[in-house]
Amino acid sequence: MSRIKRKLFVLCVAIILGGVAIILEQLLYFRVFQKQAADLGSVEFQSTMTDSSVGGIVMHLLRSCSDYATMNQSDGNVGAKTIIPHAKDLQDHVNLCRSFRHQYKFFSVRSSVLSWVKTHEEQRHLLHGKDTNNKWFAIILNEDYAYRHIFKSGGTSVVKQTAAHSHVSQSDIGNRRLLATVRDPLEHFLSGWAECGSRNFKVMMNLTASDAYDDRVQAWLQYLTTDASEQIRKGGQAMKHCRIHSFPQANFLLQSDGEFNTNIDIVGDLGEIPALLEAVGFHYNASISKGRDASKDEIKSRHFPPNKSLLSARTITDICRYVALDYYLFDFDPPATCREELMANIADMNITVPYYNTMK
């Protein structure tokens, strides 16, 4: 082999090895982000790591959050008078992207959504109401903040973090602002169904004679939508108190007068609880175990597994209508079976926020 050929061969090998090194470096960077997602339970990290270009993963992740507010500034309903609490802090925090999106959407559209619901008689069922005077209203975090406990949306994890602190009623939070976390509406509904199944096994199993998963979830939904006297007749007081676990999460943010609680300051994502607690001045202890593991509850895992894939299109649509307020107010993509219906309602609200256009 001549000297020129040898030099060309060495150069080619060097180029190939250099390319391999770059690819390995990018893959390692990708794995680091995956580990962060697993540790934090962050939906945003996991859902954005599907970009076809490995080198574009980080930029894709950051664009989804950093461009979000800019993208929405052209909307006529989100003008200079709209105040988004802590928007800059949430937007700039790499581990709070999902929370920023919920926060931006909730504070941008809440007045329009609530007004539309109240002026349409056929939609007023969405305002299920919530007893704000109950002793499980919130968990004190510090002198400035309390955590609004939306059942099945992270409350147990926060309770474990606070150790000595316990639940308090609304009258006991004083002037503290409220932090709340939300999760996928359909998953939240099924988690509530499983919780009540575990607490009231016999009653829940007798809501229908069918053993089919879809029929049993339908029976639960029908129970929730019957009047209070019928609910007591079917399940007694215990079931009446348990049903709120499947209520739309937005209802926990409402007061008894049907208006949103004025102390609500941050609406974040369940998967980002660690960073959210730190953001409000409460130290998150990563060594403390998280909330309950439903897979370790034999009744839940055997008889009430929260599995969306086992639901029929009809049942998904019916649940979607029941929890529609969560889709209107928080940044969750609705199931395909009900997307068109929700989009029609949103159009009727005269809300033109660009991110609603992703619901298609």
87, 62: one domain: no
Note whether 275 and 90 are within 8 A (CB).
no
Answer yes or no: do 20 and 134 share one domain: no
* Same domain, residue pair 17 and 147: no
Tokens of 326: 């969560």
pLDDT digit of tens for each residue in the chain (360 aa)?
A: 566 667 667 667 666 766 655 555 545 444 433 444 444 333 333 333 333 333 333 333 334 565 555 555 544 444 445 689 998 899 888 899 999 999 999 999 999 999 999 998 888 888 866 555 578 899 999 999 999 999 998 888 998 888 766 788 888 999 999 999 999 999 999 999 999 999 999 999 999 999 999 999 999 999 998 876 666 666 677 787 888 899 999 999 998 888 999 999 999 999 999 999 999 999 999 998 776 666 678 889 889 998 999 999 999 999 999 999 999 999 999 999 999 999 999 889 987 654 444 454
Q: Per-residue b/e over 169-185, b at no fewer than 16 CB within 10 Å?
A: ebeebeebbbbbbbbbb
The answer to whether residue 77 sits within a structural domain is no
- Decide if 53 is inside a domain: yes
261 belongs to a structural domain: yes
Does 22 map to a domain? yes
Tokens of 77: 């309903």
Identify the domain containing residue 22 by its residue range: 3-66
Examine the domain organization and report whether 231 and 115 are in the same domain: yes
Check whether residue 214 and residue 90 sit in a common domain.
yes
| pLDDT for the residue 71 | 52
Q: What is the spatial distance between Cα 99 and Cα 237, in angstroms, rounded to a whole number? A: 35
Classify residue 236 as left (phi > 0), alpha (psi -120 to 50) or beta.
left
89 shares its domain with 60: no
Burial class of residue 292 (count of CB atoms within 10 Å of its CB; 0-12, 13-18, 19+): middle
72 in a structural domain: no
Residue 74 lies in a domain: no
Domain assignment present for residue 76? The answer is no
Domain boundary among 15, 31, 66: 66
Residue 48 and residue 142 share a domain: no
Residue 197 lies in a domain: yes
Confidence (pLDDT) at 156: 87
In terms of domains, do 122 and 257 share one?
A: yes
Answer yes or no: do 26 and 148 share one domain: no
pLDDT of residue 240: 74
210 and 182 fall within a common domain = yes
308 and 247 co-located in one domain: yes
Q: Are residues 215 and 272 in the same domain?
A: yes
Token pair 């209107």 is found at 328
Number of domains in the chain: 2
pLDDT of residue 29: 40
- Would you state the pLDDT for residue 226? 83
Residue 53 and residue 46: Cα distance in Å, rounded?
A: 15
* Amino acid code (one letter) for 286: A
Give the pLDDT of residue 55.
Answer: 34
